[in-house]
Amino acid sequence: MTFQPLIPTGGYPGWLFLQRTLDQQAQAHASAPAAQRDETYFRQTIGQIDSARDLVNDRRLLRVSLAAFGLVDDLPNRAFVERVLDSPTDQRGSFVNRLTDKRYLELAAAFGFADMTGPRHRDPAFADRILASFRERQFEAAVGQQDESMRLGLALERDLKRVAQGGQSEAAQWLRVIGTPSLRTVFETAYRLPSGFGALDIDRQIGILRDRTQRAFGDPGLEQFADPEKRDLLTRRFFVGEQIGQIQAISTQQTALTLLQSAQAGMARMRAG
């Protein structure tokens, strides 16, 4: 039987409970028989492939590999995934480097099929790295089935810390945020940005995000989020923004219902008259 994460309440209080019980719950989830079988198969088989095509032709290997990067929805898109894996990450204008979603770049870099340094899937620690990410992402997905905002909080902890400590330029860091769906959603929600924000020019998006971050944290950059306290403050803002959005949605629905009922009552009076 698959372990179901326990989240007794929503919002920031639920997040605090999840944080307190995270290690125990994640371990219980990873110990499920199905997860153990997937890990065993991956360890035994990954070293036997020779190319990206071999990987995409093994559905079980591919599922674990994609899940490790939060890309399991691409499991049916084998031709696209093969093109990603066969695209060099060390060439600036390559196909994978042009993709907005940087999870594909991380996937291609992890395997390195097209890189100058050669494939990495036979490195002694490769399976450990991929499976550690697989366990983490699978637990996040299970949490998301209970509460999507909690999944986004977990993704924030992992991905924003990585961005903050990555040593890239500030512009490159913000591009990474914009290109990572979970991070983008957290920042947009925390800053209560409008639904059309993503349609703006990229430079304009970065400018707005920097400005909002400056106002909220006194610093427009992302390196500050290497500090756990800063990440926690952002997480709090995210949950507050999430709750405000839910309240506004309910209010809008109630207003629409009231208007509809008033219109129906008016029409009824007109017919009666």
> pLDDT tens for residues 195-239?
899 999 999 999 999 999 999 999 999 999 999 999 999 999 999
* 192 plus 128 within the same structural domain: no
Indicate the number of domains in the chain: 2
Q: Determine, yes or no, domain membership for 158.
A: no
Give the CA diameter of the chain.
Answer: 85
**What pLDDT is recorded for position 247?**
73
**What pLDDT is recorded for position 222?**
97
Which of 194, 165, 168, 162 lies closest to 180, judged by CA? 162
CATH number of 60's domain: 1.10.3700.10
* 19 plus 137 within the same structural domain: yes
φ, ψ dihedrals at 171, nearest 5°: -60, -40
**What pLDDT is recorded for position 243?**
87
Based on its alpha-carbon atoms, the radius of gyration of the chain, rounded to whole angstroms, reads 22
Whether the per-residue pLDDT at 161 is higher than 80: the answer is yes
**What pLDDT is recorded for position 272?**
60
Whether the per-residue pLDDT at 251 is higher than 60: the answer is no
Whether the per-residue pLDDT at 14 is higher than 60: the answer is yes
Q: Determine, yes or no, domain membership for 156.
A: no
Confidence band (pLDDT; 50, 70, 90) for 21?
A: very high
Range of the domain at 93: 11-146
Share of residues in the chain with pLDDT > 90 (%): 84
**What pLDDT is recorded for position 269?**
56
* 44 plus 81 within the same structural domain: yes
**What pLDDT is recorded for position 72?**
96
pLDDT tens-digit series, residues 105-158: 999 999 999 999 999 999 999 999 999 999 999 999 999 999 999 999 999 999
Q: Determine, yes or no, domain membership for 105.
A: yes
* 186 plus 265 within the same structural domain: yes
Share of residues in the chain with pLDDT > 70 (%): 90
* 15 plus 142 within the same structural domain: yes
Which of 32, 41, 14 lies closest to 131, judged by CA? 41
Q: Determine, yes or no, domain membership for 28.
A: yes
Higher pLDDT, 6 or 270: 6
* 138 plus 171 within the same structural domain: no
Mean pLDDT of all residues belonging to the chain:
91
Averaged over 91-110, what is the pLDDT? Answer: 94
**What pLDDT is recorded for position 195?**
87
* 194 plus 226 within the same structural domain: yes
Q: Do residues 62 and 55 touch, judged by C-beta distance below 8 A?
A: yes
Of 115, 146, 177, the last residue of a domain is: 146
Whether the per-residue pLDDT at 68 is higher than 90: the answer is yes
* 123 plus 199 within the same structural domain: no
* 239 plus 139 within the same structural domain: no
**What pLDDT is recorded for position 62?**
98
